[in-house]
Amino acid sequence: MQEIRCGQCSRKLGVGVYVHLVIKCPRCGTINSLRATRPSSARHRASNAEDAHAREETPQNPSPQRPAQD
């Protein structure tokens, strides 16, 4: 967890993990707006176009061919 401090007076405002946080300092009244600088590890990686194209050409579970009925 990360310590969250006021940008103006350095008072400790809390401890936690955040993506976007807006908090008012009770000491000096400054509105602190904080954003995460890196994506969290729980997010999925974006695939590139070549990987997606290769997956389209090669089906994972091809359906079996049925014999033609006369």
Asked if the structure places residue 1 within a domain, the reply is yes
**Domain extent for 15:** 1-37
What is the distance, to the nearest Å, from the Cα of residue 17 to the centroid of all Cα atoms in its chain? 13
Q: Half-sphere exposure of residue 21, counting CA atoms within 13 Å on the CB side?
A: 19
Asked if the structure places residue 63 within a domain, the reply is no
Q: What is the pLDDT of residues 15-48, one digit of tens each?
A: 999 899 999 999 999 999 999 876 555 555 555 5
Locate 37 and state its tokens.
């600088």
Work out how many domains the chain is built from and give that number.
1
Asked if the structure places residue 67 within a domain, the reply is no
Supply the pTM of this predicted model.
Answer: 0.51
Give the integer Cα–Cα distance in Å for 26 and 63.
Answer: 64
Locate 53 and state its tokens.
């194209």
With cut-offs at 50, 70 and 90, classify the pLDDT of residue 1. confident
Pairwise pLDDT comparison (68 vs 3), residue with the higher score: 3
Of all residues in the chain, what percent carry a pLDDT higher than 70? Answer: 53
